[in-house]
């Protein structure tokens, strides 16, 4: 079957499987939960916003930061360098190509990918093109960089390394891809000379960054169904590293914690998510595929709290900011949640469109809606 698969269909099927969970006759299990009243502790401040071209339906257009600059690229190939405080455009470059994933800044350069599978490097100072290389297939997630290499993961399961100065391919690895996957991909993560990447077959791999040779790999979860749909265990979320632990989650699978030194799973819980786990103030948690939020103690892994009041509200990825969990939803709201209690403490409607991406940086955080409008906020 094709790689392109309807995410909406997957979410619908996933939500139908949990109908028995709902007990209240007043709640329609197939409809997004209505927002409920809460006690507001603080207010969000909208600093500035700017509209770009294209759509951000896959949560793959993410801003990059360097010093006082915020870099953003829209779907039509317009690259912007903006003042992080005011949103003023400092320079703009038009690449005249369709962009498939957002922008990454590092070592004086910018990196992004187009829909033809090309990895493009730009100069941060003026946006001029430094080099362009074929990445091995469509790239739907951000790259990661170190001083010598750019690491790229393609939608077809390739993990490739390119020389940061020349764009020359240094090594390549290909995972075994299943027949059926969700459209989307995860970003690789570089840490202490090792590249960590999750794949569509529900596994995580650790690779030597210089050679690309596998160091170890492990299963986030195993397939247990009889149909291809039952066995869909895509890992479209990036691994999260905290100390010696690696936190991973996949669709219709597990939230699994690996010990990097022991190279094995030390804990797992049955979960299903498209977003990377969050770790904050002693809890580790995930936004499930049906927009319920589950948390566990990051020390003992015992259940902490579960929040169902945002079920089926198509929550964005979680971001952590000033000690709170932030999520966006299908109606354009931003919500702040206390990580110790699971109680909502702030809320603001900023858009008429679905909020698909959140990212925090220093004293501000940023939201992108599905129509490619970027907001800078704070509290």
- pTM summary value: 0.89
Per-residue pLDDT at 307: 98
Per-residue pLDDT at 42: 98
Across 135-188, the runs of DSSP E, i.e. the strands, are: 144-145, 149-153, 158-163, 169-174
SS3 for 11?
helix
Per-residue pLDDT at 21: 37
Query: What's the average model confidence in pLDDT over 115-130?
Result: 97
Task: Measure the CA–CA gap between 336 and 328, rounded to whole angstroms.
Answer: 9
pLDDT confidence bin for 112, thresholds 50/70/90: very high
pLDDT at 363 over 50: yes
Query: Which residues touch 248 (CB under 8 Å, ≥6 apart)?
Result: 198, 204, 220, 235, 237, 239, 240, 255, 256, 257, 258, 277
pLDDT at 335 over 70: yes
Task: Measure the CA–CA gap between 99 and 54, rounded to whole angstroms.
Answer: 9
pLDDT, tens digit, for every residue of 71-94?
A: 999 999 999 999 999 999 999 999
Among 58-62, 75-79, 164-168, 371-375, the minimum mean pLDDT is found in 58-62
Task: Measure the CA–CA gap between 70 and 349, rounded to whole angstroms.
Answer: 23
pLDDT, tens digit, for every residue of 155-195?
A: 888 999 999 999 999 999 998 765 555 556 799 999 999 99
Inter-residue contact 234 to 182 (CB < 8 Å): yes
Q: In this structure, what is the dihedral angle of CA atoms 212, 213, 218, 224, given to the nearest 10 degrees?
A: 80
Per-residue pLDDT at 156: 84
Query: What's the average model confidence in pLDDT over 310-328?
Result: 98
Per-residue pLDDT at 184: 60
Across 308-370, the runs of DSSP E, i.e. the strands, are: 319-321, 324-328, 333-337, 344-349, 355-361, 364-369
pLDDT at 7 over 70: no
Inter-residue contact 81 to 96 (CB < 8 Å): no
Inter-residue contact 372 to 353 (CB < 8 Å): no
Task: Measure the CA–CA gap between 272 and 233, rounded to whole angstroms.
Answer: 9
pLDDT at 235 over 50: yes
Per-residue pLDDT at 253: 87
Query: What's the average model confidence in pLDDT over 331-354?
Result: 98
Q: Domain 176-271 has what CATH class?
A: mainly beta
Query: What's the average model confidence in pLDDT over 328-334?
Result: 98
Number of residues assigned to the chain: 379
Q: Contacts by 162-168 with C-beta closer than 8 Å and gap 24+?
A: 162/119, 162/133, 162/135, 164/107, 164/109, 164/121, 166/131, 167/119, 167/121, 167/130, 167/131, 167/132, 167/133, 168/133
Triad 155, 160, 162: Cα angle to 5°: 130
State the fold for domain 62-174: Lipocalin (2.40.128)
In the chain, domain spans = 62-174, 176-271
| Side-chain-facing half-sphere of 16: CA atoms under 13 Å | 6
């Amino acid at each position: 079957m094709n790689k392109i698969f309807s995410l909406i269909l997957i979410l619908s099927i996933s939500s139908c499987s949990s109908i028995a969970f709902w007990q209240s006759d007043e709640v329609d299990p197939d409809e997004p939960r209505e927002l409920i009243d809460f006690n507001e502790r603080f207010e969000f401040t909208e600093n500035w916003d700017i509209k770009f071209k294209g759509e951000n339906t896959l949560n793959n257009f993410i801003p990059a930061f360097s010093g006082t600059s915020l870099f953003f690229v829209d779907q039509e190939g317009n690259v912007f360098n903006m003042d992080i405080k005011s949103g003023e455009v400092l320079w703009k470059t038009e690449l005249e190509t369709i962009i498939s994933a957002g922008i990454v800044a590092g070592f004086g350069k910018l990196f992004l990918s187009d829909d033809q599978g090309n990895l493009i490097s730009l100069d941060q100072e003026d946006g001029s093109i430094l080099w362009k290389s074929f990445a091995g297939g469509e790239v739907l997630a951000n790259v990661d960089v170190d001083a010598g290499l750019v690491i790229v993961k393609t939608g077809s399961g390739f993990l490739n390394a390119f020389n940061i100065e020349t764009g020359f391919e240094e090594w390549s690895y290909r995972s075994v891809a299943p027949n059926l996957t969700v459209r989307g991909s995860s970003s690789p993560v570089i840490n202490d000379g090792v590249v960590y990447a999750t794949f569509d077959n529900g596994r995580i791999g650790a690779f030597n960054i210089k050679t690309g040779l596998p160091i170890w790999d492990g299963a986030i979860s195993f397939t247990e169904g009889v149909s291809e749909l039952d066995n869909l265990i895509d890992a479209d979320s990036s691994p999260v590293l905290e100390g010696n632990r690696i936190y991973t989650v996949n669709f219709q699978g597990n939230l699994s914690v690996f010990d990097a030194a022991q190279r094995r799973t030390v804990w797992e819980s049955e979960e299903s998510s498209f977003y990377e786990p969050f770790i904050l103030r002693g809890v580790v948690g995930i936004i499930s595929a049906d927009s319920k939020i589950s948390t566990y103690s990051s020390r003992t892994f015992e259940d902490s709290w579960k929040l169902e009041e945002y079920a089926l509200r198509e929550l964005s990825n979680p971001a952590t900011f000033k000690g709170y969990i932030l999520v966006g939803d299908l109606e354009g709201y931003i919500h702040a949640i206390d990580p110790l209690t699971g109680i909502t403490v702030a809320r603001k409607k900023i858009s008429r469109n679905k909020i698909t991406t959140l990212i925090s940086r220093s004293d501000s955080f940023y939201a992108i809606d599905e129509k490619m409008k970027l907001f800078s906020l704070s509290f």
